[in-house]
A = this chain, B = another copy of it.
């Protein structure tokens, strides 16, 4: 979408008015991260997203990446945009000063990632993956690895990847086969094939640092025998000077439904030189920081697409004239009324709007929690933030991306047949965001993580921490008659959420398939409640601003009206999800495998 606008005003509402990020930053010791600085950075990020990235979005889709004998060329303009990104200092924002970073908080840098992805999903994946690589090295690299590699990554002159998937194993990493053999000089030789490696090869940076999961000789089977290795595209010396080409090569790139400007590579490791990162056989543990951050990042991509599709659909709905309003002409001088007068068009627009704004609040809230886990000295606060983040991460990943499918589909639907035509950009948003429920762990994987590992695995403790926050907030609203109904709705949903969790835990004791049978509906159910909680808070905050007297009455009134839509028409989706959850596993498991194909 060429006309994409960064949501500066709404993001400031979430960060400054709803979540009090300035005070949060001050409390964590980020004294520079003042309201003024935040606004200044937002302004620059918005310009970059709108003026540099958005105009390249359709180009990326039209041209895609090209592959020729191991060399990947990114679409016209991608390389130049990356240079501007590096020159602007964006890669280094939230990294330690000692490695050349700017020492600003994590959430400040990542909040804006919504705009980069909203303007150009494919392009934003290159620096996005690189950030994941940096976090992993920051948490697990040796001082030497950090000195040589992390510095260059933070600078942006090199980029990074994460190499997990192999042809026969995606979700089930325990099956991975890639081998790492020790050599005499402390390095390793890596051999195997990795697939679906985003940014595995491209023309934007001087070197590419692959973080690769592989097995040492005699490593235990399964996930307990996986180690993490750093494998550079070009070998380098101790000062980071580039030496010879390493024997890791891109074998081909995938032809995909969307994100065509993002190179999805098959990477062949042929005794490639690599270095162990972290402890042997602890590779998955080293990846966890990255994977959790990447999951929130993927959730953000779902948010980005939702917002971008809303903006595109809204412009068309105000412009396209078709039929008269059933309650009388609204555009008497024109041949018909703009389609935004029709209730069903509004239903689709408000679905997009309420999802975009609600998901934004939820995502930024999670990033605030990440800050606390990374920087806080308050052990209790850290523990609480970790608990909330553990619970919410799979919800953010899956709910924000699943609802993006609906939102981007509505974006097309509002255009009618025009939505299907490439030039409008609406169908690209739908295609690009379709990957988000699959990569970084499918919705099914997130759902099992949430229900089995997080909720039941903690005996309900993680849920209790978040539920307490919500119930306390709702209790604090008692007596405020304006929000009574919504607060009661959220409060009773949370009680029901806890009860349902208990019910599933009990039934799963005799039949573990009850977990898988409930998981995805349970996750979506949790998502609608969580976003509902943020809508309640946003409505209350908006009303406070109105009560105080504001020059932005329209902004706050729109918030409250959008909240009403959410409570009336989105939160109520929990009713069918509860029915599905309660229906149990028999309706899924009773059919023998052969019967699925009988009569075909």
Identify A322's interface contact among B171, B257, B318, B585, CB under 8 A: B171
Identify A516's interface contact among B343, B584, B594, CB under 8 A: B343
Asked whether B345 lies within 8 Å of A444 as measured between CB atoms, the reply is yes
Q: Given A421-B254, A439-B417, does the pair A172, B558 have CB atoms closer than 8 Å? A: no
- Alpha-carbon gap, A356 to B196, bound state (A): 31
Considering only residues 551-570 of chain A, those with a C-beta below 8 Å from chain B are: 552, 554-555, 557-558, 561-562, 564-565, 568-569
Asked whether B564 lies within 8 Å of A572 as measured between CB atoms, the reply is no
Stretch at the interface among A6-14, A78-86, A141-149, A461-469: A6-14
A72 to chain B, nearest CB (A): 17
With an 8 A cutoff between CB atoms, is A435 at the interface?
Answer: yes
Map CB proximity to B onto A296-320 as digits: 1 under 8 Å, 0 otherwise: 0000000000000001001001100
Asked whether A257 lies within 8 Å of B431 as measured between CB atoms, the reply is yes
Asked whether A517 lies within 8 Å of B322 as measured between CB atoms, the reply is no
Asked whether A349 lies within 8 Å of B575 as measured between CB atoms, the reply is no
Q: In the complex, which residues of chain B have a beta carbon less than 8 angstroms from the beta carbon of A318?
A: 593, 596-597
- Identify the closest chain B residue to A406 (Cβ): B405
Asked whether B417 lies within 8 Å of A438 as measured between CB atoms, the reply is yes
Q: In the complex, which residues of chain B have a beta carbon less than 8 angstroms from the beta carbon of A577?
A: 576
Identify A416's interface contact among B327, B438, B448, CB under 8 A: B438
With an 8 A cutoff between CB atoms, is A336 at the interface?
Answer: yes
Q: In the complex, which residues of chain B have a beta carbon less than 8 angstroms from the beta carbon of A326?
A: 512-513, 515-516
Asked whether A558 lies within 8 Å of B439 as measured between CB atoms, the reply is no
Asked whether B589 lies within 8 Å of A343 as measured between CB atoms, the reply is yes
Q: Given A323-B171, A409-B405, A583-B569, does the pair A196, B417 have CB atoms closer than 8 Å? A: yes
Asked whether A588 lies within 8 Å of B347 as measured between CB atoms, the reply is yes
Asked whether B576 lies within 8 Å of A416 as measured between CB atoms, the reply is no
A219 to chain B, nearest CB (A): 16
Identify A347's interface contact among B430, B520, B555, CB under 8 A: B520
Q: Given A564-B587, A574-B576, does the pair A600, B255 have CB atoms closer than 8 Å? A: no
Map CB proximity to B onto A394-429 as digits: 1 under 8 Å, 0 otherwise: 000000000001000100110011111111000100
Q: In the complex, which residues of chain B have a beta carbon less than 8 angstroms from the beta carbon of A583?
A: 568-569, 572
Q: In the complex, which residues of chain B have a beta carbon less than 8 angstroms from the beta carbon of A438?
A: 412-413, 416-417, 419-420
Q: In the complex, which residues of chain B have a beta carbon less than 8 angstroms from the beta carbon of A511?
A: 327
Q: Given A254-B421, A311-B600, A327-B512, does the pair A342, B444 have CB atoms closer than 8 Å? A: yes
Q: In the complex, which residues of chain B have a beta carbon less than 8 angstroms from the beta carbon of A170?
A: 322, 416-418
A585 to chain B, nearest CB (A): 6
Q: In the complex, which residues of chain B have a beta carbon less than 8 angstroms from the beta carbon of A416?
A: 170-171, 438, 442
Q: In the complex, which residues of chain B have a beta carbon less than 8 angstroms from the beta carbon of A196?
A: 417
A28 to chain B, nearest CB (A): 28
- Identify the closest chain B residue to A520 (Cβ): B344
Identify A558's interface contact among B10, B558, B591, CB under 8 A: B591
With an 8 A cutoff between CB atoms, is A470 at the interface?
Answer: no
Asked whether B417 lies within 8 Å of A516 as measured between CB atoms, the reply is no
Q: In the complex, which residues of chain B have a beta carbon less than 8 angstroms from the beta carbon of A435?
A: 417, 420
Identify A572's interface contact among B327, B341, B580, CB under 8 A: B580
Q: In the complex, which residues of chain B have a beta carbon less than 8 angstroms from the beta carbon of A568?
A: 580, 583-584, 587
With an 8 A cutoff between CB atoms, is A373 at the interface?
Answer: no
A303 to chain B, nearest CB (A): 15
Q: In the complex, which residues of chain B have a beta carbon less than 8 angstroms from the beta carbon of A322?
A: 169-172, 175
- Identify the closest chain B residue to A573 (Cβ): B576
- Identify the closest chain B residue to A561 (Cβ): B591
- Alpha-carbon gap, A519 to B579, bound state (A): 23
Q: Given A322-B169, A561-B595, does the pair A442, B413 have CB atoms closer than 8 Å? A: yes
With an 8 A cutoff between CB atoms, is A265 at the interface?
Answer: no
- Alpha-carbon gap, A318 to B580, bound state (A): 25
Asked whether A599 lies within 8 Å of B10 as measured between CB atoms, the reply is yes
Q: Given A175-B336, A416-B438, does the pair A422, B255 have CB atoms closer than 8 Å? A: yes
Asked whether A516 lies within 8 Å of B342 as measured between CB atoms, the reply is yes
- Alpha-carbon gap, A583 to B317, bound state (A): 23
- Identify the closest chain B residue to A435 (Cβ): B420
Map CB proximity to B onto A422-463 as digits: 1 under 8 Å, 0 otherwise: 110001001100110111001110011000000000000000
List 8 A-B pairs, minimum CB-CB distance, nearest first. A343-B516, A572-B579, A326-B512, A568-B583, A9-B599, A257-B427, A576-B576, A558-B595
6 other A-B residue contacts (CB within 8 Å) besides A343-B588, A344-B447: A170-B418, A254-B422, A326-B513, A343-B515, A344-B448, A576-B576
A-B contact pairs, 12 of them (CB 8 A): A171-B322, A172-B323, A311-B600, A326-B515, A344-B519, A347-B517, A350-B587, A409-B434, A562-B591, A565-B587, A572-B576, A575-B576
